[in-house]
Amino acid sequence: MDTTGILDEALQRLHRSGPERLGRLTNHAPMAVEALAAHGQAASVHRWLDLYTSRLEEFPSGVEPITAANWRVALGDSRRAADWIDYFGRELSERSWPEVLTDWWPRLLPGLYGGSTHPVIRVGHAVRTLLASESTEPRLVELAHGLGYWAARYHPVADLALRPGADSAAAATALDAVTPIAERDGGFPDRLSRVTELPVWGTAVTDPNEAHRRLTELVRAATHRYATHGHGEATMLVHAATAPNAVLRTLPALPQVMWVPSLRAAWTASAAVTAMYSPHGPVEYTAPGAFTAAEVFERAVAHGDEHVIKLTDTAVDVGDEQALAAALRSIELSGPLV
- Cα–Cα distance, 302 to 41 (Å, whole number): 11
Provide mean pLDDT across the span 300-325: 98
Residue 114: what pLDDT? Answer: 96
Under the banding of pLDDT at 50, 70 and 90, the label for residue 97 is: very high
Residue 330 or residue 159, greater confidence: 330
Provide mean pLDDT across the span 316-331: 97
Under the banding of pLDDT at 50, 70 and 90, the label for residue 3 is: low
Provide mean pLDDT across the span 197-217: 96
Which of 79-93, 152-166, 209-223 bottoms out in mean pLDDT, i.e. has the lowest?
Answer: 152-166
Provide mean pLDDT across the span 301-317: 98
Provide mean pLDDT across the span 200-216: 96
Please give the biggest Cα pair distance in the chain: 58
Residue 1: what pLDDT? Answer: 63
Which of 27-41, 73-87, 276-290, 317-331 bottoms out in mean pLDDT, i.e. has the lowest?
Answer: 276-290
Question: pLDDT averaged over the chain?
Answer: 96
Residue 245: what pLDDT? Answer: 98
Separation in Å, CA 144 to CA 131, 285, 298: 15, 40, 30
Please check the confidence at residue 4 and state whether its pLDDT lies above 90: no
Residue 2: what pLDDT? Answer: 67
Are the beta carbons of 80 and 63 closer than 8 angstroms?
Answer: yes
Please check the confidence at residue 322 and state whether its pLDDT lies above 90: yes
User: What is the value of pTM for the model shown?
Assistant: 0.97
Query: Residue 67 CA to chain centroid, in angstroms?
Result: 27
Burial 25-55 (b: 16+ CB within 10 A, else e): ebbbbbbbbbbbbbbebbebbeebbeebeeb
Are the beta carbons of 319 and 216 closer than 8 angstroms?
Answer: no
Provide mean pLDDT across the span 312-325: 97
Please check the confidence at residue 196 and state whether its pLDDT lies above 70: yes
Of 261, 9, 297, 248, whose CA–CA distance to 131 is shortest?
248
Which of 9-13, 91-95, 163-167 bottoms out in mean pLDDT, i.e. has the lowest?
Answer: 163-167
Residue 78 is classified by DSSP as G
Residue 23: what pLDDT? Answer: 87
Burial 114-138 (b: 16+ CB within 10 A, else e): bbbbbbbbbbbbbbbbbeebeebeb
